[in-house]
Amino acid sequence: MTRRSGRLTPELHDYIVAHGTGPDDLLRELAAETAERFGDSAGMQIGPEQGTFMTLLARVAGARDAVEVGTFTGYSSICLARGIRGRMLCCDVSEEWTSVARRYWERAGLSDRIELRLGPALETLRGLPGDTRFDLAFIDADKGGYVGYWEELVPRVRPGGVLLADNTLWSYEVADESRQDEAVRAIRAFNGHAARDARVELVILPIGDGLTMARRLE
């Protein structure tokens, strides 16, 4: 079972995917190419039901502009870009992985609405003009960086806008104190930080590897 399907059996995961919308042929091809070329790293990609959820959420929220921290080969960015009405900023450090994303953005007809910034995302976010605002933000990069990304992004998300953070159940091990590796500790620190943040209301959804969904308060 991959980490992104959490504790679901493969049969139940397949059932959920089969009884929801999408993914379309392009996303299937992207997932297949990522798996073939990048092996275990492909496990970093969000799953198909999470992608559908994020597209729907962006549409229901009526989101215009979005930002993503951690783009990899582009699966989540395509799901979000299809759901928003405006532009998307993608942040990543890997030229190799995002070159795949660029190719699929082109094929999806999204290239003119997505801007990629290569470099450490914290620097990218800190370098944005002071008045840059988003309706939706998705955090899915290095786990030790989550608190920093959150602190940069909460003020930049408009009141009523949405913040998402991926992997916040971390293989569903986050509540198991016998697990003490660096990543799970970073996720615990982030979850505590976000839960105490009075600027948002939030819930951790047991979808994929755990997805925190927060709404910026007025």
Ligand X SMILES: C[S@@+](CC[C@H](N)C(=O)[O-])C[C@H]1O[C@@H](n2cnc3c(N)ncnc32)[C@H](O)[C@@H]1O
> Using CB under 6 A as the criterion, which residues of the chain lie in contact with ligand X when the complex forms?
44-46, 70-73, 75-76, 91-94, 97, 120-121, 140-142, 145
Amino acid present at 178? S
Q: Considering beta carbons, is residue 44 or 110 the nearer one to ligand X?
A: 44
Task: Write the CB contacts of 52 (distance below 8 Å, at least 6 apart in sequence).
Answer: 20, 21, 22, 23, 79
Q: Which of 5, 122, 166, 140 is nearest to 71 (CA)?
A: 140
Q: Considering beta carbons, is residue 91 or 207 the nearer one to ligand X?
A: 91
Task: Write the CB contacts of 212 (distance below 8 Å, at least 6 apart in sequence).
Answer: 163, 164, 165, 168, 191, 194, 202, 203, 204, 205
Q: Which of 73, 57, 216, 59 is nearest to 140 (CA)?
A: 73
- Distance in Å, CB of 218 to ligand X, minimum: 29
Q: Considering beta carbons, is residue 47 or 161 the nearer one to ligand X?
A: 47
- Distance in Å, CB of 131 to ligand X, minimum: 23
Q: Considering beta carbons, is residue 23 or 145 the nearer one to ligand X?
A: 145
Q: Considering beta carbons, is residue 144 or 199 the nearer one to ligand X?
A: 144
Helix (H) or strand (E) holding 147: helix 146-153
- Distance in Å, CB of 98 to ligand X, minimum: 7
Q: Strand 211-216 and strand 200-205: pairing?
A: antiparallel
- Distance in Å, CB of 159 to ligand X, minimum: 25
In this structure, what token pair is assigned to residue 181? Answer: 């590796």
Q: Considering beta carbons, is residue 185 or 199 the nearer one to ligand X?
A: 185
Dihedral Cα 154, 201, 147, 212, nearest 10 deg: -110
In this structure, what token pair is assigned to residue 82? Answer: 């299809």
- Distance in Å, CB of 203 to ligand X, minimum: 20
- Distance in Å, CB of 211 to ligand X, minimum: 11
